Amino acid sequence: MAVEIKSKIVAYSVKKEVQETPPPLADENPLTVRIPSRPEGTLEAVSEKISYVGAEGRKKVYLLVSFMPVQGVLNGKRVIIER
């Protein structure tokens, strides 16, 4: 079906496509996020033997620190750090 336009066209507009953008992610600092429990399996770790002298004489203590990947959101972007 053809439509004939008899009057002069004075303006036009093009309908823009609406892009649905997902809502921005809420910031969740991976440095401060709480880790509920240690995951199963092995983790990278470092250990150190510390000797000290106390009231009961010379003592030794072993310090063990494990590292694991932690996810978070900074400035709307997902990040993964090891802590």
Q: Can you give the pTM of this predicted structure?
A: 0.56
Q: What is the pLDDT tens value at each position of the chain, 83 positions in all?
A: 788 888 888 888 888 888 887 788 888 999 999 999 989 999 999 999 999 999 999 999 999 999 999 999 998 899 999 99
Is 13 a domain residue? no
Structure confidence at residue 81 (pLDDT): 95
The domain of 49 spans 25-83
Is 2 a domain residue? no
Is 14 a domain residue? no
Is 70 a domain residue? yes
Structure confidence at residue 55 (pLDDT): 92
Is 63 a domain residue? yes
Return all residues near 15 (Cβ < 8 A) that are at least 6 apart. none
Is 55 a domain residue? yes
Structure confidence at residue 76 (pLDDT): 86
Is 3 a domain residue? no
- Count of domains in the chain? 1
Is 80 a domain residue? yes
Q: How many CB atoms lie within 10 A of CB 30?
A: 17
